[in-house]
Structure 1
Amino acid sequence: MTLMNAMIRLAIAVVLVTQLAACAALVIGGVAATGLAVHDRRSIGTIVDDNVLEVRVRDALYRHEQFNDEVRIKINAFNGWVLLAGEAVNEERVALAERAASGVPGVTRLFNELAPVERAGPGLSTSDRWLSTRVNGSLTRIRELPGFDATRVKVVSARGTIYLMGEVSHEEAEAVVARARTVRGVERVVTLFQLPEDQTS
């Protein structure tokens, strides 16, 4: 085999591998999106829009030099509703965050839950993540509602407060709140649910 033939074969192999990888990514992405949509009451398009919205809000905030390593801001979007939670040092930065986020196209409602305090240390951040995990786990044990799917509820934790987002019925909202309040470490529960009347308005 000549050197030229070997190089041609190598080039063909690289192209084939690249195409196969691209196809696999499309298939895996499609399966993941389909699986997510099975559980989520939002459409796949809305799920994607919310993910993009979170990125846009983050970009709008961190375009300002005031939002640096001194702040910790959690950004979550659901059907255009955006939650800001965490710490923003002082009232001025809390207000700036609200102005920046509210000006992002696609934000239909903004919940500014930022605390005007210094950024939490790694210990509290870990505690928040663990608290979210415990609450999510507790929601899977709701048995009184036939067909209830805990993955339809987005749980966000910040400084001991649990924020609940998602499209739910009144009965589901009551059951989820009651269950979340029983989890050790939860100091406060804030509901940002989209109830039937919100979904039709």
Structure 2
Amino acid sequence: MKLLKIISIPLLALSLSGCAGIFIAGAATTANLVTDTRTTKEMWNDSNIEFEIAAISNKTPFKGSTRVTASAYNGSIILMGQASTDAERRAFESKAKDIEGVTSIHNQIRVQKPLSVKEISNDSWITTKVKSALLANSDLNGIKVKVITENQEVFLLGLVSHEHADIATEVARNISGVKQVIRAFQYSEQGSDES
């Protein structure tokens, strides 16, 4: 009976910590949905664009020689990652332009070897730090900025005012580990403060 208790307590702790993680992730997703200025249809379309770009990555001639990800916001996409040649980089952009709903492309694919798992993990950590700093900044209260990091370059997207874009850019630049901040905002006079 004692052995059962000894085994049960760590298992219970592990299962509860998993529930906490799911709860936190769900809360973060809900917060993102509440502050996102896009309609449900626009978010759906952007997700489909990202899905189709991921499918391109897994087809010949790109499979195995490129590591490309994309982020879409209102049909405007950023292509990020690595390709083995400039011709491959341009060919990937050409394929992405053919996707329904794509309005503009920011091709930030670099000609270099794919990132290591360690580099990808570091990028995730930088993204977390930038998002936290943006959330903590009182001048950006309620402003939704999408943050993606690729090889220590931070990409910022969203529908914002020029003032909020400048503030978000400055916040991201001051995070340790950030090499460069690339803005891919869509601008409105009022940003996401519009009623």
TM-score range, shorter chain: 0.7 to 0.9
Report the residue type matching 1:52 in the other structure.
Answer: N
Report the residue type matching 2:34 in the other structure.
Answer: V
CA contact (8 A) 1:34 1:44 kept: no
Q: Figure out how many residues of one structure are paired with residues of the other and give that number.
A: 164
Distance (whole Å) between structure 1 residues aligned to residue 122 and residue 30 of structure 2:
32
Instruction: Please provide the CA RMSD for this pair.
Output: 2.2
In the TM superposition, what is the alpha-carbon distance from 1:60 to its structure 2 partner?
Answer: 3.4
Residue 52 of structure 2: aligned partner: 56
Identity %: 28
Distance (whole Å) between structure 2 residues aligned to residue 42 and residue 34 of structure 1:
14
In the TM superposition, what is the alpha-carbon distance from 1:70 to its structure 2 partner?
Answer: 3.4
Matching of residue 111 in structure 1 with residue 106 in structure 2? yes
Distance (whole Å) between structure 2 residues aligned to residue 35 and residue 186 of structure 1:
25
Residue 12 of structure 2: aligned partner: none
Residue 118 of structure 2: aligned partner: 123
Q: TM-score, normalised by structure 2?
A: 0.77
Distance (whole Å) between structure 1 residues aligned to residue 77 and residue 139 of structure 2:
30
**Matched residue SS, 1:144:** helix
CA contact (8 A) 2:53 2:69 kept: no
Which sits farther off after the overlay, 89-98 or 51-60?
51-60
**Matched residue SS, 2:131:** helix
In the TM superposition, what is the alpha-carbon distance from 1:61 to its structure 2 partner?
Answer: 4.2
**Matched residue SS, 1:110:** strand
Matching of residue 181 in structure 1 with residue 173 in structure 2? yes
Structure 1 unmatched runs, 5+: 1-31
Residue 161 of structure 1: aligned partner: 153
Distance 1:102 1:149, change over 3 A: same
Report the residue type matching 1:126 in the other structure.
Answer: S
| Largest Rg, 1 or 2 | 1
Q: TM-score, normalised by structure 1?
A: 0.75
**Matched residue SS, 2:155:** strand
Distance 1:131 1:66, change over 3 A: same
Distance (whole Å) between structure 2 residues aligned to residue 133 and residue 36 of structure 1:
14
In the TM superposition, what is the alpha-carbon distance from 1:170 to its structure 2 partner?
Answer: 1.4
Distance (whole Å) between structure 1 residues aligned to residue 66 and residue 121 of structure 2:
16
Matching of residue 43 in structure 1 with residue 39 in structure 2? yes
CA contact (8 A) 2:57 2:63 kept: no
**Matched residue SS, 1:177:** helix
Structure 1 residue runs of 4 or more that deviate by more than 2 Å after TM superposition: 32-38, 57-63
In the TM superposition, what is the alpha-carbon distance from 1:34 to its structure 2 partner?
Answer: 7.5
- What are the equivalent positions in structure 2 for 1:1-201 lying under 5 Å apart? 36-63=32-59, 65-145=60-140, 148-149=141-142, 152-196=144-188
**Matched residue SS, 1:41:** coil
In the TM superposition, what is the alpha-carbon distance from 1:68 to its structure 2 partner?
Answer: 1.8
**Matched residue SS, 2:48:** helix
Distance (whole Å) between structure 2 residues aligned to residue 37 and residue 98 of structure 1:
29
